[in-house]
């Protein structure tokens, strides 16, 4: 731990009030949070504080211009009580990449890892071992300078909060292929985890939900002919035995689950194609029976199988396949993440035990 991290512990834990067998995703938070302020051109001494409200002026820029970015990551505990994370450096790099697009200052790597390691040690009882259990970690950065002039803030808060999570079963997921609204465009912010990207999806996603779909799979804004990604997940298609996913670009978020699945699948001899995916080819594959699977990939659900899709009023159901790639890859990835399997890729990060 750097001597620059200031820790203020809670007086009494609230963990005993939590029913760990019945957690709604992202609604219960741990005892502590990490906060670091940026002002006078630099990040100030980071702090760990009791979890609680942030005080801000109503004119703070985040409220008016949405200058905000976030990340989503998880920590796992194995049966020995050791804590692991999955490729956290990727999340650190990505929040700075997202921040750069929103004219925000890069965060300090040492502050990030010291803060995270200390926070996880302080709140380690909130991480349960066993299949499906994890701690969802939400780092975010917000513009806190007072004043409503439309220009980048000169002050920010970098915050990390944590929520215990259980395995996420989405049930039957039906999706709608977008043919009117768009999530992102060339030269835009689609590749960034920028808060406003998600707000902008809520309305078209609500319209889709009213029609009975769980999610929208976004298509390219120019032609709506290419499938890109879902709300907070990249999308994979299995045609015969080939796994296909769109290449990342400035419209598509470079998901850590996505790139790990590509490597994991390849390492097992699965044929993987990273190339633009035409709506027409997926419709055709569904019609001729060669479309075996479709699934979303992202940190929260890891892999979320899709059971059917609709494009321009035409609905298709996917067959139930035996030995689904989705089931197999999800199991392999989650076991690796939780230190229940070998890690030939070097993706696992062991959180050092720190006296706190």
Q: Does 303 bind ligand PLP (CB under 6 A)?
A: no
Task: Tell which residue, 309, 310, 285, 311, has the closest CA to residue 295.
Answer: 309
Shorter beta-carbon distance to ligand PLP: residue 77 or 251 = 251
Shorter beta-carbon distance to ligand PLP: residue 62 or 233: 233
- The C-alpha atoms of residue 50 and residue 200 are separated, in whole angstroms, by 32
Selected binder of ligand PLP within 61, 258, 330, 348 (CB under 6 A): 258
Does the footprint of ligand PLP cover residue 144 (CB under 6 A)? no
327: nearest Cα among 304, 299, 350: 304
User: Per CB under 6 A, does 118 bind ligand PLP?
Assistant: no
DSSP H or E stretch at residue 78: none
User: Among 144, 215, 299, 337, which residue interacts with ligand PLP (rule: CB under 6 A)?
Assistant: 299
Report how many helices (DSSP H) and strands (DSSP E) the chain contains, helices first. 7, 21
Residues 65-84 that bind ligand PLP (CB under 6 A): 72
- Interface pick for ligand PLP out of 118, 205, 219, 232 (rule CB under 6 A): 232
Dihedral sign of CA atoms 318, 322, 326, 330 in order: positive
Interaction with ligand PLP in 236-255: which residues (CB under 6 A)?
Answer: 253, 255
Q: What is the largest CA-CA distance in the chain?
A: 63
Where helices occur in 300-355 by DSSP H, the ranges are 325-337
Is position 257 an interface residue for ligand PLP (rule: CB under 6 A)? yes
* 162 touches ligand PLP by CB under 6 A: no
Q: Rounded to an integer, what distance in angstroms lies between the CA atom of residue 340 and that of residue 338?
A: 6
Q: Write out the binding residues for ligand PLP, residues 201-230 only, by CB under 6 A.
A: 229
Q: Is 256 in the site for ligand PLP (CB under 6 A)?
A: yes
Q: Does residue 233 belong to the site contacting ligand PLP (CB under 6 A)?
A: yes
CA distance 157 to 161: 13
**Where along the sequence are the contacts to ligand PLP (CB under 6 A)?**
72, 193, 229, 232-234, 253, 255-258, 298-299
């Amino acid at each position: 731990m750097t001597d620059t991290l200031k820790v203020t512990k809670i007086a009494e834990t609230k963990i005993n009030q939590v029913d760990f067998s019945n957690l709604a995703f992202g609604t219960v938070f741990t005892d502590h949070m990490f906060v670091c302020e940026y002002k006078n051109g630099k990040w100030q001494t980071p702090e760990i504080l009791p979890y609680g409200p942030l005080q801000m002026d109503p004119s703070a820029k985040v409220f008016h211009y949405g200058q905000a970015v976030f990340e989503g990551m998880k920590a796992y505990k194995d049966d020995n009580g050791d804590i692991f994370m999955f490729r956290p450096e990727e999340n650190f790099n990505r929040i700075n990449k997202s921040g750069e697009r929103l004219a925000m200052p890069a965060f300090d790597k040492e502050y990030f890892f010291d803060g995270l390691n200390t926070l996880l040690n302080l709140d380690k009882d909130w991480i349960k071992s066993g299949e499906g259990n994890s701690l969802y970690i939400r780092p975010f950065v917000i513009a806190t300078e007072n004043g409503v002039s439309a220009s980048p803030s000169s002050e920010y808060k970098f915050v990390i909060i944590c929520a215990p999570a259980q395995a996420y079963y989405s049930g039957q997921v039906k999706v709608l292929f977008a043919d009117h609204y768009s999530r992102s465009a060339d030269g835009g912010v689609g590749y960034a985890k920028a808060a406003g990207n998600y707000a902008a999806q809520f309305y078209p996603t609500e319209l889709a939900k009213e029609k009975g779909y769980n999610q929208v799979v976004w298509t390219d804004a120019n032609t709506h002919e290419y499938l890109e990604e879902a709300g907070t997940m990249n999308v994979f298609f299995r045609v015969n035995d080939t796994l296909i996913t769109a290449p990342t670009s400035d419209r598509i978020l470079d998901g850590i689950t996505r790139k790990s699945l590509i490597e994991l699948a390849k390492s097992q001899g699965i044929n993987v194609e990273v190339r633009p995916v035409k709506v027409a080819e997926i419709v055709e594959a569904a019609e001729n029976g060669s479309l075996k699977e479709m699934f979303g990939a992202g940190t929260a659900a890891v892999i979320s199988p899709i059971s059917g899709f609709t494009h321009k009023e035409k609905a298709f159901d996917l067959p139930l396949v035996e030995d689904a790639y989705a089931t197999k890859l999800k199991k392999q990835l989650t076991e690796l993440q939780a230190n229940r399997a070998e890690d030939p890729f070097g993706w696992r990060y062991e959180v050092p035990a720190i006296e706190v």
